Amino acid sequence: MLKKTVGKNIRAIRKLKGFSQGELALRAGFTPSYWGYLERGQKNPSVELVEKVAAALEIEPYILFVDSSPGNLPSEITQLFYIISSMGQIHMKFIQDVLNAYIKAHKLQ
């Protein structure tokens, strides 16, 4: 269900960024209890509401609709990739270089 995916992504990104539910609810103009409903996938958000949530989380709205569960990567890693990719090509290249160096170093062990 799409509202469950959106809710899971809201929660994962909020935690990755270190925000509390109350803090983001205030930013988006919601009550903390309503934010909790969103994170649990108990509300069916409109497009306008998704835009408000994305703005509060400082991400692009489409990220909230991406279901990463079928993939082999944990959802936290997938969410990080989406966040990094939305930051621009320079950041993506830096992270790619760091990961390549990490993999190379650990293959030698």
Domain map of the chain by residue range? 2-107
Give 2-107's CATH code, choosing from 2.40.50.140, 1.10.260.40, 3.40.50.300, 2.60.40.3620.
1.10.260.40
CA dihedral 3, 4, 6, 8 (to 10 degrees): 160
Q: What angle do CA 97, 86, 21 make, to 5 degrees?
A: 115
Run of H or E including 33: helix 32-39
Q: What pLDDT sits at residue 107? A: 82
pTM of the model: 0.68
pLDDT tens by residue, 30-79: 999 999 999 999 999 999 999 999 999 988 898 898 876 655 567 677 77
